[in-house]
Chains A and B, each alone.
Chain A
Amino acid sequence: MKREQDITAFVFLSPNIFGFLVFTLFPVLAAFALSLFRWDIFHAPKFIGLQNYFDLLGWVFEDKSFQWIDPDFWKFLGNTVFYLFAIPLSMAASLFLAIILNQKLRCRIFFRTVFFLPTISASVGLLILWKYLYNGDYGLFNFLLSNIGIDGPGWLTDYHWAKPSIMMMMIWGGMGGVAMVIYLAGLQNIPRELYEAAELDGANGWNQFCHITWPMLAPTTFFIFVTSIIAGFQSGFDAAYILTQGGPAGATTTLDYYIYNHAFVYFNMGYAATIAVVLFFIVFCVTMINWRFGGRKVHYG
């Protein structure tokens, strides 16, 4: 009987397991292996041990000054981390929108749909629109700004504005999206009686938020935060490719774009795999830290 179930289960699982092994598990292991080689895809791969890791993470003292061997990597890692700061902002906006939408209002579904539009259409089509909106010479933003006498910057071509501009676009697109929908579900799970009791005790709206809504939503917030961070480390490819080509001067290159360039533009397969493996470790460690320190503080209601 048990044996029979094993066979049945195997048959059910086989298509998915096959894909899982060939397109996920094996590639993960292969990426580790590949990171030990130098390979331009056209010639035979050459085993070089940990050299790629030294090149990526190592440093030298030249003229008595500290220098990374690959300063680009650290810069692009910095860019990626910079984008992560959009997450708390975007989450706060999502929560606020969700609380407002959670009231008994007319047209709730309509507004939810409208807020969700950017998430649905977030893609090449929408990025092209933003490229136009942000254009320094004939973009809509600078045109509107010029009407009130402000000479707007080249949003995507100015070194200091490029990252915040892309961040702003991410927040615009993300605040009414998945996070808001999950928050809405979380809010609906909070028992009404809690608020009624608080109201009898004379608690105002802010107090109710601090002592009921926020603590009761902690697991939801934690879930959104963890998944957003994982996704955040892999963000920015489409925006870099379509809007800025990673520029100006690498200001908007994220690790994903850097890996893509090394692998499929310069054909440094081994080096690209090395960056990918390091990215994997970063995501893994950050997620572990999140679970360890965030997971414990969360109050599961």
Chain B
Amino acid sequence: MGKIVLTRSRRRQIVHAFSYTFLITVGVTMLFPFFWMLITSVKSRYADPLDLNKLLPETVWQISANDIRNWTEIFNKLNRADRLMDSSALKTIWTAMDPNEQRKIGSVVTRGKYGEEDKKMLVTGLNQILLNEKLWKNEEVAAVLRPEERAVITNSSPLGKENRIKINRMIIDALFPEEIQKAHRYHWRNYRTVFVEINFYRAILNSFFVTLMITVGQVFTSSLAAYAFARLNFFARDHIFLGYLATLMVPGTVTMIPVFIILRELGWINTYYALIIPPLFSAYGTFMLRQFFLSLPRAVEEAAILDGCNAFRVYWHVILPLSKPGLSALAILTFIGSWRSFMWPLIVSHSDNMYTLPIALSLFQSFYEIEWTLLMAGSIIMIAPMLLVFIIGQRYFIEGIQLGAVNG
């Protein structure tokens, strides 16, 4: 009786409304972490990343630890005012320092001249001081703080992240006059810090070099083999191809150990050879391109062969130009795959100058666990190239995945 009959278009409207709501909800869940990552990467190191009321970066007064000129200014001022020797708090800081560092900073300050290296050292040295938990609990340091500030230090045990930030702020405020603190809202310098720390720029260059070599090499070797499998008749072709396919099932860890040993025998560990050569040959790439080549019309090729072209010319002048979508798809897949590859570079690279970006980043995060702003900046640097490549070549990428799957 009371049955509501919905017209077709009405029903469609409801379905669409539901669909959009759903898509937007899922979309927000997917995007929010990235958004948060980006926002955090430009926040002050002393901002509280958890303060969602201040989700967007706000202007923070702080000593910009990365501003090298600023640090030298501070030291000049301190030096001139003899505060370095007079202030008991600073004296304590001074004595708490590693003697080696003390000597270095001391010589820099008394010389009054600063080379690039000295500046870098001052920055890292002072950062360590400001992050030194023991120091904050020191009575003499606490003496320069206001009573309510001191209470924060004595009452917070163990120091949580929030207090750490608060105390850091307080000590900066107490020790340094406001005029040498600097106001910042967007701390793009975080990115510069990341580039300078632990050979990050080197890791980025390594990653680009290794990834490009693997991509070009893999597309080349795969397309050659794929052409043979797709177009040439030769001895045991289908058996060999099946053998290729079967290896798609072999877990990477099975071949990993023997390949490591081979490279070790060749003396290639911790060289670009180890990073580039083993991933250069891909059964998956060969399979995907073979599927693509099979879908190409044969007419042009046959015409070329009648004109007297040999197999290489057909491959180079006919097949490759026709296969741009397939080749692009494989190139993008390979680029993204090797850019983020983690386990293999971890195994074969042992020194700063050979680390790729994922390795450098993972080391960085294990040393600087609380430096969220810097970690997020590093993560953005790592993710950005992949996103760029994906967004530019999205169509090919999606088609490539579907090609590998549907025809399989």
Contact = CB atoms under 8 A, between A and B. Distances in A.
A260 B257 CA distance: 9
Contact of A28 (B240, B248, B254, B281): B254
B405 A28 contact: no
Contacts of B250: 24, 28, 280
B258 A126 contact: no
B52 to A, nearest CB: 7
Given A24-B247, A103-B19, A123-B382, A276 B365 contact: no
A209 to B, nearest CB: 13
B15 A103 contact: yes
B404 to A, nearest CB: 9
Most buried by A among B254, B286, B342: B254
Interface residues of B, number: 93
A30 interface: yes
Interface string A110-123: 01111111101111
Interface residues of A, number: 94
Task: State the main secondary structure of chain A at its contact with B.
Answer: helix
Nearest to A234: B251
Contacts of B408: 223
A113 B392 CA distance: 11
Contact of A181 (B224, B347, B402): B402
A27 B255 contact: yes
Contact of A117 (B30, B260, B340): B30
Contact of A116 (B264, B361, B390): B390
B141 interface: no
A2 B227 CA distance: 17
B257 A269 contact: yes
Interface of B: 15-16, 19-20, 22-23, 26-27, 29-31, 33-34, 36-37, 49-50, 52, 160-162, 220-222, 224-225, 227-228, 232-235, 237, 240, 243-244, 247-262, 264, 277-278, 280-281, 283, 286, 310-311, 315, 336, 339-340, 342-343, 346-347, 357-358, 361-362, 365, 372, 375-376, 378-380, 382-383, 386-387, 390-391, 394, 398, 401-402, 405-406, 408
Given A128-B375, A230-B248, 10 more contacts: A9-B228, A12-B311, A23-B281, A25-B247, A103-B16, A105-B20, A114-B31, A122-B340, A280-B254, A284-B249
